[in-house]
Amino acid sequence: MASLMSSLNAPSAAEYAGDEVSAIVLDPGYSTVRAGFAGEDVPKSVVPTYYGGLEPPGGATQVLYGENAIHNPIPHLHIKNPMSQDGIVEDWDAAWKLWEYSLTSRLLGAKPTPAIRNGLNDPVDGDVMDVDMEELDDLEKPLVDNPLLMTEPAWNPVKWREKSLEAAMEEWGTPGFYLQRSGVLAAFSAGKPTALVIDIGASQLSVSPVVDGMILKKSVRKSPLAGNWISQQIRLMFAQSQPPVPLTPHYMVTSKVPVDAGAPSNATYKKYEIPPTDSFRRLEEERVLTEFKESVVTTWYHEFGRLSTSSQGMTNEERAKAAPGARPFEMPDGWNQIFQVERFKVIEGMFDHEGAYTDAENRAPKLEHTIPNLIIASLNSVDVDTRPALLANVVLVGGSTLITHLHERVKRELEAAYPNVRVRLHAPGNPVERKFASWIGGSILASLGTFHQMWISRKEYEEHGAGLVEKRCK
């Protein structure tokens, strides 16, 4: 009798070939850092990549990590991000500290002080025992017991790859280390060894073809049209609407009263002696924008094509104006408005470079940066025999893909571009699986019995040095 799949009974080892060695999977991103034990289905520790630098004039600087610390409107709190807009590390030391925080805060906990140090065993007569203190230091490192699997974007420079291995070994003392591309892991999370992974994160939109668990490096295409860009579009839309939409973050409002749609807000604002920094304000505005993205923004995916095209004597934009389902949105200070065509337009630039909001500073995106063109460019550089397999396994992941109907639009664009090929789009319905796809893939990979031969062990690292990562993590 076939037993039903449930979380209560574990699958047999032969079925999933699993062998958990309490490995840790670390998936750093631009917006959040995901960390957790391999074999679990969601990361236990999700920490924002934004961190706070408390720099009071004349005082000691202090670094604050974690969701609770960085949203506190205290003076002189500068919000920073160690990642660059490319999605790769910019400030290595800060990033490494942040990642360490993500591991130690939730996963590993405090280590007991070794018996030799806790003072209970101190010799009465003060004789110094001959103990290898260096070895003790090693034991105190956070990851001595846990192999570490890290993810990286496909365009991660060699320098950072080697540095990751070095730091994981030297600073964290991990017995085994492996670096895997997040595209491959996203494909694994969908259960596919061959897939075309479209990953729309906060800073980067990337298209990576994966064949048999190997990423095709030359065919990876990326563009900045991702979550942050959408936020920028919303800001532009707010600024360009008549009258401009005021964007007030939560921390500034004490109380509000309901007002009519479009009417100026009637709220009492908080007074700060020393107002929080601009970077803090920007972070808080970003939270409002995220809310806006989640509740209002949607993709034009109807059969009439893009928003700019017209058919039957009517442009799609007019059609969108008449379409039902206008969404109201209320700002933290009570200002509210109904958004109709704008909610389609802020995302349209991802597909149609001419449909984006622009101003003097923010140019229209390039044609080759739009999703359809990225995919076509990526596929065109792949061997023609592999293309149908890739198109039959398109995997759509990343937090920004959670925008309503985005996957339908992507599918429609793909079908328009390849009318003769069967296109199958896999976009997990569960938001967690979409947001943390590459972490989940890493969790699957690092819990496989067959994977344990892949780890770069400490011994190997000591023998060959950091250059080994290029040879082993292909």
Partner 1 sequence: MASRKDVQDIMGLSGAAPANPPPTLKKPKTATGKRTAGIAREVLALHGDRPPPVAVIDVNKTYKGRPSRAYKLSNRWRMTPFTNQARTDGLVLKHWAKIPASKVLEDSENITMEDVSETKIEEQPRYEWAKCNVQVEIPQYTDEEYETYLRSDDWSREETDYLLQAIKEYHQRWPVIYDRYDFKPSALVGSGSDDMTLVPTSPRKERSIEDMKARYYNIQAKAMAIKTPITNMNPAEFALYENLTKYNPVSEASRKKLANNLMSRSLDEAKEEEFLLNELQRIAVYNHKFETERAEIRARLEAPSSTGTAMQFQSSQALHQLFTQLFHADRSRKRGSRLSVQAGMDAGMPTPATVGQTPVTAGSHRDSIGGTSQKKSGVPGSATSQTAQTPVRTISPRSETRFGITTHDRLTSGVTFRTDRVLKLRQAKSAAQTQKIATALAELKVPDIIVLPTTTVCESLERLVGQVSKLLDVRKVREKEEGELAVARARAGINTDNTQAEKSSTEKKAEVEDIAKGTDAEADANSDGDAHGDEDDDGDVDGDGDAGADVDEEDEAEEDEADGDAEDEKPLKDEMDGDVARARSSSNLASGPLPENSAVNTARGGHKRSASVLSATSTKSSKRTRK
Residues that bind partner 1 in the complex, under the rule CB under 8 A: 13, 17, 19-22, 145, 147, 175-176, 211-212, 214, 216-219, 382-388, 416, 418-421, 448-450, 452-453, 455, 457-460, 474
| Rounded least distance, CB 472 to partner 1, Å | 11
Nearer to partner 1 by Cβ, of 17 and 338: the residue is: 17
- Under 8 Å between Cβ of 395 and 198: yes
SS3 139: helix
Cα separation values, 109 from 101, 148, 292, Å = 10, 16, 36
- Nearest distance in Å: CB 305, partner 1: 12
Q: Cβ atoms within 10 A of the Cβ of 186, count?
A: 31
Name the minimum Å distance from CB 175 to partner 1. Answer: 7
Q: Whose Cβ is closer to partner 1: residue 29's or residue 209's?
A: 209
Q: Structure tokens of 323?
A: 């379409």
- To the nearest whole angstrom, how small is the minimum distance from the Cβ of residue 165 to partner 1? 15
Cα 427 to Cα 94: distance, rounded to the nearest angstrom: 33
DSSP 3-state assignment of 348? helix
Provide, for the chain, the percentages of residues in helix, strand and coil under a 3-state DSSP scheme, each rounded to the nearest 5.
Answer: 35, 20, 45
Provide the minimum distance between the beta carbon of 129 and partner 1 in the complex, in angstroms, as a whole number.
Answer: 19
Q: Residues 50, 54, 55, 57: is their CA dihedral positive or negative?
A: positive
* DSSP string across 179-218: EEEHHHHHHHHTT-SSEEEEEE-SS-EEEEEEETTEE-GG
Q: Which of 20/91 has CB closer to partner 1?
A: 20
- Report the relative pairing of strands 62-64 and 394-397 from DSSP bridges: unpaired
In the complex with partner 1, the residue whose CB is nearer, 382 or 402, is: 382
Kindly report the number of other CB atoms within 10 A of residue 461's CB atom: 20
Least CB distance from residue 166 to partner 1, whole Å? 18
Dump the DSSP string for 364-399: PPPGGGSHHHHHHHHHHTS-TTTHHHHHTTEEEESG
CB closer to partner 1, 321 vs 459: 459
Contact by Cβ (8 Å): 351, 409: yes
If you ran DSSP here, which 8-state letter would residue 26 be given? E
| Closer by beta carbon to partner 1, 12 or else 68 | 12
At its nearest, how many Å lie between partner 1 and the CB of residue 426? Answer: 20
Q: Name every residue whose Cβ is closer than 8 Å to that of residue 1 and which is 6 or more positions away in sequence.
A: none
Can you point out the beta strands (E) in 244-342?
253-257, 266-269, 310-311, 314-315, 327-330, 336-339
**CA atoms of 23 and 442, how far apart (whole Å):** 10
Name which of 336 and 457 has its Cβ closer to partner 1.
Answer: 457
- Of the pair 212, 361, the CB lying nearest partner 1 is at 212
Q: In angstroms, what is the minimal distance from the CB of 382 to partner 1?
A: 7
Nearest-approach distance from CB 73 to partner 1, in angstroms: 46
For the bound state, the minimum distance from the C-beta of residue 374 to partner 1, rounded and expressed in Å, comes to: 17
What's the min distance (Å) between Cβ of 88 and partner 1?
Answer: 20
* Comparison of 86 and 460: residue with beta carbon closer to partner 1: 460
User: Is 20 buried (19+), middle (13-18) or exposed (0-12) by CB count in 10 A?
Assistant: middle
Q: Nearer Cβ to partner 1, position 273 or 463? A: 463
Helix and strand totals (H; E) in the chain: 17, 21
Nearer to partner 1 by Cβ, of 92 and 418: the residue is: 418
Q: Under 8 Å CB-to-CB from 309, ≥6 apart: which residues?
A: 315, 316
What is the distance between the alpha carbons of residues 143 and 168, in angstroms, rounded to a whole number? 8
Query: Cβ closer to partner 1: 301 or 418?
Result: 418
Q: Minimum distance from CB of 403 to partner 1 (Å)? A: 27
Work out the burial of residue 378: count CB atoms within 10 Å of its CB; fewer than 13 is exposed, 13-18 middle, 19 or more buried.
Answer: buried
